[in-house]
Amino acid sequence: MLREVVAEAAIFIDTGDVCGPHFNEELIRAALHPYPDGLVIATKGGFVRGGPSTPTWERSGNPELPPPGGVHEPARAGLDQIDLYYLHTPTMTDAPVEEIVEPLAEMRARTL
């Protein structure tokens, strides 16, 4: 289905741990890698999904987690870096917003 959508000129794929968790990027990679020019792959963080044995959806900006909740996904998708990363919500209860945004600002600074 992904191949068909991209063949019909889709240029944006949005993913994140809440979509899987942990395997949706691998499915995207298996279907589409090597990626066509112009395809943007985005992901997001701020929610952590537990998976089949713990189907919870918790807001998390905990800086001890992969920063913040999903930036490790580019490697699973076969990318060196993600094209677009954003937060589901800035209203996490486990860390102040400054601690949540700081790793994002650091990653952005490294890519400029």
What is the tens place of the pLDDT at every residue in 18-59?
A: 776 667 888 888 998 998 999 998 887 777 666 666 566 666
CA torsion 104→76→6→87, rounded to 10°? -30
Encode 14-23: b = buried (16+ Cβ within 10 Å), e = exposed: ebbbbbbbee
Question: CB of 110 within 8 A of CB of 85?
Answer: no
* CA angle centred on 59, ends 55 and 60, rounded to 5°: 110
Q: Select the more confidently predicted residue: 31 or 86.
A: 31
Which letter does DSSP use for residue 70 in this model? T
- The pLDDT, as a whole number, for residue 39 is 92
Handedness of CA 53, 13, 75, 1 (dihedral sign): positive
Q: Select the more confidently predicted residue: 16 or 35.
A: 35
> Tell me: the pLDDT tens digits for 56-81?
666 666 655 554 444 556 777 788 77
Classify strands 57-59 and 47-49 as parallel, antiparallel or unpaired: antiparallel
- The pLDDT, as a whole number, for residue 52 is 62
- The pLDDT, as a whole number, for residue 1 is 81
